[in-house]
Structure 1
Amino acid sequence: MGTEGANVRVIGGRYRLEAEIGRGGMGVIWRSTDTLLARQVAVKELGLDESLSEGEARLQREQMLREARAVAQLRHPNIIVVHDVVLDDGRPYMVMELVEGPSLAERLAQDGPVDALHAARIGLALLGALRVAHAGGVQHRDLKPANVLLESDTGRIVLTDFGIARVAGATTLTESGGFVGSPEYTAPERMQGGRTGPAADLWSLGALLCAALSGESPFRRDSLGGILHAVLYEEALPPAEAAPLLPVVRGLLEREPERRLDVDEAERLLRAYVATGATPQAAQARLPFLPPPLDTVVVRRRRIPTRVVLVAAAVVAAVTGAGISAAVLLARQDGDGQPPTSTAGPTRTETTTQAPTPTVTVTRAPTRTGQPPVTAPPGYRGVRDAKGFALAVPKGFSRSVDGPWVYYLSADRTFRIGVRVSAPQNGGPAATQQRAAAAGPRTNPGYRDGKITDTSHDAHDAALWEFTWDDPTSGGQARRVMDLCWEEGGRRYDIRVSAPVGRADEARGYFDAAVDTFAPPAGQ
């Protein structure tokens, strides 16, 4: 049993807890002395839910100890060294090396963002740590600046706090329907309550690199609901400071896990930058987007066979007492695109709150039996989108969603083909485009050379809006945009293609192919 003294406890008969140096939802970190070996260590006191029954508490202790012991087997210079795991008075403790130095979060708060070279080196260190962890069957699941330590004397970068890690073959603390973690750095597939793989840690690394370069996660918002909505539905827009590492950041923040950069490719790109100082070139996309089969339920931009029973786990805020259900978020995906109301703001304290499992209504993708296949010119492929429309897109382009827009993007995101289906607006297409153009300077940095041309599309009145703007996500690159708007069957359609100004002629070919092959949803 731990002994109490003048603010001092000794646990396990040898570890003297002397001063609290950190605290989180999963426990307290103590600066401690190993009295047997006469060395300084860090001891993590893992918190237990006092409301649990004796049997539940015992199971929770066994699970935590099993995971802690598994992490203790990991050996890598960028992973915290675990010396011991002990039970004292029925409570588990993890004994680790003491790293003298600030966390990355503290470093950013005190000194501001780091440069691209420093960020690349941080990324390489963490990729090395994740490679070893994943090979050992351990997913960290809480990769964020607060869990990255910077050793003052050596400059060593250390990944710590595997408190909510998942070990292959073991039931984890958070698989009972609750969500634990830091929403700004959590992969969308984890937010959606499904089982996740190592790719979720790589998404977190992408958000962490953005924070290192700019000072904050790209998903930071004014409310918890805003954060969750951004992670689940909004296109990840890396900060301008990420331009030197843009292929890495974009690749890590791919929403679909199977399209995300893996450890090998991310390492290759970062090493290339460290060696040359030049923005590395990403490889071609490994997997082309395939439209969902007709017997597939389309949910949360992931394709889930109809035979699978969908259970939406509660997405629980990393805020004491504040919860928001996955069902509320999912219901908004095809609505007005606004985040659900939440009065709670994000904090750095992680707690687990069990919320009732909500009911989710699953809607099948409309059956399009009898529709003719899309005729695609050479170098293109026909796509029948989950939104119901069809068109031809260049081979190798992949699908992404940003609010009401569906985009098909080239592998390096140089070319963007967007489609929006919405309700008609007053005044028809010309008036709609005039209003959009009037707001251009406010919505598009560096807006210029705007022009609207009245035209037609398939015998329907249409308006073509063209303009140039400076894209902050690509270092202020000047891009030319072509946007055709028309109304048909009680719906408004926009087809938009954009590209760097110097490649606008090539983009015009993509635009013409998209317009010429576009077919609205069946019945429209």
Structure 2
Amino acid sequence: MATDGGSSRVIAGRYRLCARLGRGGMGIVWRAVDEVLGREVAVKELRLDETLSADEARQLRERMLREARIVAGVRHPHVIVVHDVVVEDEQPYIVMEVIDGGSLADRLASQGPVSPAQAARLCLSLLGALRAAHARGVLHRDIKPGNVLLEAGTDRAVLTDFGIAQVAGATTLTEYGAFVGSPEYTAPERMAGGQTGPESDLWSLGVLLCAAVTGESPFHRDSLGGVLHAVVMDEIRPPSAVAPLLPAVHGLLERSPERRIDAVEAERLLSAYVTTGTMPPVPAGYTPAHADVRVAERAAMPVDMPGFPADATPSSVPSATSAAALSEAPVPREPGRRRSRRSALIAVALVVAVAGAGAGAAAFLLDRGQDHDDPPASSAPETTHTTEPPSETSGDPSPGPTVTVTEPGGDGRPKVPAGYRIAQDAEGFSLAVPRAYVRERQAPRVFYVSADDKVRIGIKSTKPVPGGPMAAMRSAAAKGPDNNPGYRDGRVTETTHNGRTAALWEFTWDGFTEKEGARHTLDLTWEEGGRMYDVWVSAPLARKGEAKRHFDTALDTFGVRGGR
């Protein structure tokens, strides 16, 4: 673990920051020592970008303090414990229990899937945490393996990162029109912009249950469009490894939230499996508790979502299914309806989602923060073609969500190289990125990320700073050792970009974790149209050539809405 920037700092007169444990969209988590009580703690520090406006910085501070209040109010053995909240020099810090051990995502990456029994015990722990949170009106909204910590030696599962949680009746400190969460683990009703409740967290738990025994989400695809299609429209075909847990999986991954099993029923099924090794079926005619309330709350939600037949219950799916039969037994389709009509409605639901439904500001946004590929506004002729994410079904040519890829031509801009696409970003710029890269947003940057999460293209638009691009890059480089463990070979060079003064910062560093390994980063900043743009690519050192190619392509094709 790196100690850069930590070992000499003491906050609130008692918490000595010792080693960096991790870094996320809102800041850095440190291993620290409470020098008053003589115990180790974890301290989450909000790191604000100096280019943020005073109002933006204030909102981020309020959001972090809100997270602390939410977590402190949910007391459960499987929810991270908040010890203290301090503010020093206007910077908030959350002091939490330290969990020695990595996340479930780390476990799956290093050791592979767990057994069905282990997965059932894990999800039982998380069900308890969710029931405690839901009882206080708190929805987590981002349940995924990366947000589940596993304590070394005990394997105690701890739910963490309530940064985008929602409290019933509370005003959210998030961006208008944005969608938050991790798309592979997000419930279809959230994708479609419908009102959500505890059942949306239960869908995410069902996806996590599958991921624990297979190594990845059943909705994993190579593009955002593919993920959307899989979550909202594709037949759900649980892998054969999920067979022992099938009743719970089918009950939790019921696309209609009104028909999805609730926490009590999920707990009954998983507990029975842990105790007996066999999971019972969902009772015939099962209706989740308060289903009438669910229906009333979602009266305006898009209807006809695919899932179980209208006259079926989760118990209609066999409770014991062979591996061979699993591949032949997707979630049943609705009888007596034409698939074309349902597909059209689902396409509409996807359009609703892409048009900016939902709320929040975190890793993933759909429109007004979406990676969509609409042709840029221009009087010059352009050639476009459409692609459809591949469906796992066959025989019925029902339409899926359409992604438009733009091949510029006739306007003087470089042609998009093979394997790339133009991303017309909602932040007001466009650029070419590899086709499989997925958009994420961690304020104040927008990222386009490779499927293996190892290569990242980052773009930031801010107000110009005194001294221009060179001053901005020199300031960033001066902080390089603090923000980038193992920082070395850093250099800032004055250059130009499309005739405008620019500054290039290039450096090598060790990544935030030992597993991440040595990385190389290229970063160019320039001013255009009254804004300062910053484009960088970071990749493993062994993929330095690939990173340079993506960097050059991004800069060659970069355009600002209303300008070049």
TM-score (norm 1): 0.58
Q: CA deviation at 1:188?
A: 1.7
Between the aligned partners of 1:65 and 1:163, the Cα distance in structure 2 is: 10
1:351 to 417, 420, 442: 442
Between the aligned partners of 1:317 and 1:64, the Cα distance in structure 2 is: 12
Q: Percent identity?
A: 58
Between the aligned partners of 2:135 and 2:364, the Cα distance in structure 1 is: 32
Q: Name 2:154's counterpart in structure 1.
A: 154
Q: Name 1:495's counterpart in structure 2.
A: none
1:46-57 map, 5 Å: 46-48=46-48, 52-57=52-57
Deviations 1:88-107 (A, max 9, x none): 22222211100111211111
Q: Please tell me whether residue 277 in structure 1 is matched to residue 277 in structure 2.
A: yes
Query: 2:372–2:403: 8 Å Cα contact kept in structure 1?
Result: no
Between the aligned partners of 1:155 and 1:11, the Cα distance in structure 2 is: 31
Q: CA deviation at 1:114?
A: 0.7
3-state DSSP of counterpart to 2:107: helix
Between the aligned partners of 2:362 and 2:56, the Cα distance in structure 1 is: 23
Q: Name 1:372's counterpart in structure 2.
A: none
Q: Please tell me whether residue 340 in structure 1 is matched to residue 403 in structure 2.
A: yes
Q: CA deviation at 1:281?
A: 1.0
Query: 1:67–1:166: 8 Å Cα contact kept in structure 2?
Result: no
TM-score (norm 2): 0.54
1:88-487 map, 5 Å: 88-174=88-174, 176-286=176-286, 299=302, 301=304, 312-313=355-356, 318=363, 323-324=370-371, 336-337=399-400, 340=403, 343=434, 345=436, 351-352=442-443
Q: CA deviation at 1:351?
A: 2.1
3-state DSSP of counterpart to 2:75: coil
Amino acid at match of 1:160: T
Q: CA deviation at 1:47?
A: 4.6
Deviations 1:115-155 (A, max 9, x none): 11101100100000000011011111111111111111222
Seen in structure 2, the aligned counterparts of structure 1 residues 82 and 326 have a Cα distance that, compared at 3 Å, is farther
Between the aligned partners of 1:139 and 1:221, the Cα distance in structure 2 is: 26
Larger Cα-atom Rg? 1
Between the aligned partners of 2:248 and 2:256, the Cα distance in structure 1 is: 15
3-state DSSP of counterpart to 1:259: coil
Q: CA deviation at 1:251?
A: 0.9
Unpaired runs of 5+ residues, structure 1, are 305-309, 356-524
Q: Name 1:379's counterpart in structure 2.
A: none
Seen in structure 2, the aligned counterparts of structure 1 residues 298 and 7 have a Cα distance that, compared at 3 Å, is closer
Q: Name 1:364's counterpart in structure 2.
A: none
Seen in structure 2, the aligned counterparts of structure 1 residues 238 and 54 have a Cα distance that, compared at 3 Å, is same
Between the aligned partners of 1:67 and 1:319, the Cα distance in structure 2 is: 18
Amino acid at match of 2:371: I
Q: CA deviation at 1:26?
A: 3.0
Seen in structure 2, the aligned counterparts of structure 1 residues 297 and 266 have a Cα distance that, compared at 3 Å, is closer
Q: CA deviation at 1:319?
A: 6.7
Query: 2:77–2:158: 8 Å Cα contact kept in structure 1?
Result: yes
Larger RCO (alpha carbons 8 Å, 6+ apart): 2
Between the aligned partners of 1:204 and 1:327, the Cα distance in structure 2 is: 30
Q: Please tell me whether residue 43 in structure 1 is matched to residue 43 in structure 2.
A: yes
Seen in structure 2, the aligned counterparts of structure 1 residues 64 and 298 have a Cα distance that, compared at 3 Å, is closer
Between the aligned partners of 1:348 and 1:31, the Cα distance in structure 2 is: 30
Query: 1:314–1:354: 8 Å Cα contact kept in structure 2?
Result: no
Q: CA deviation at 1:55?
A: 3.4
Query: 1:178–1:354: 8 Å Cα contact kept in structure 2?
Result: no
Seen in structure 2, the aligned counterparts of structure 1 residues 352 and 300 have a Cα distance that, compared at 3 Å, is farther
Deviations 1:67-100 (A, max 9, x none): 3212112111111111111222222221110011
Q: Please tell me whether residue 11 in structure 1 is matched to residue 15 in structure 2.
A: no
Amino acid at match of 2:120: A
Query: 1:67–1:167: 8 Å Cα contact kept in structure 2?
Result: no
Seen in structure 2, the aligned counterparts of structure 1 residues 47 and 301 have a Cα distance that, compared at 3 Å, is farther
- Equivalent pairs counted in the alignment come to 342
Between the aligned partners of 2:362 and 2:37, the Cα distance in structure 1 is: 41
Seen in structure 2, the aligned counterparts of structure 1 residues 237 and 354 have a Cα distance that, compared at 3 Å, is farther
Unpaired runs of 5+ residues, structure 2, are 306-344, 347-351, 376-385, 392-396, 405-420, 422-433, 447-564
Seen in structure 2, the aligned counterparts of structure 1 residues 38 and 249 have a Cα distance that, compared at 3 Å, is same
3-state DSSP of counterpart to 2:403: coil
Seen in structure 2, the aligned counterparts of structure 1 residues 353 and 56 have a Cα distance that, compared at 3 Å, is closer
Seen in structure 2, the aligned counterparts of structure 1 residues 158 and 6 have a Cα distance that, compared at 3 Å, is closer
Query: 1:139–1:166: 8 Å Cα contact kept in structure 2?
Result: yes
Seen in structure 2, the aligned counterparts of structure 1 residues 318 and 152 have a Cα distance that, compared at 3 Å, is same
3-state DSSP of counterpart to 1:258: coil
Between the aligned partners of 2:53 and 2:193, the Cα distance in structure 1 is: 25
Query: 2:164–2:362: 8 Å Cα contact kept in structure 1?
Result: no
Query: 1:63–1:171: 8 Å Cα contact kept in structure 2?
Result: no
Seen in structure 2, the aligned counterparts of structure 1 residues 299 and 239 have a Cα distance that, compared at 3 Å, is same
Seen in structure 2, the aligned counterparts of structure 1 residues 182 and 254 have a Cα distance that, compared at 3 Å, is same
Q: CA deviation at 1:41?
A: 0.7
Between the aligned partners of 1:278 and 1:129, the Cα distance in structure 2 is: 24
CA RMSD of aligned residues (A): 3.8
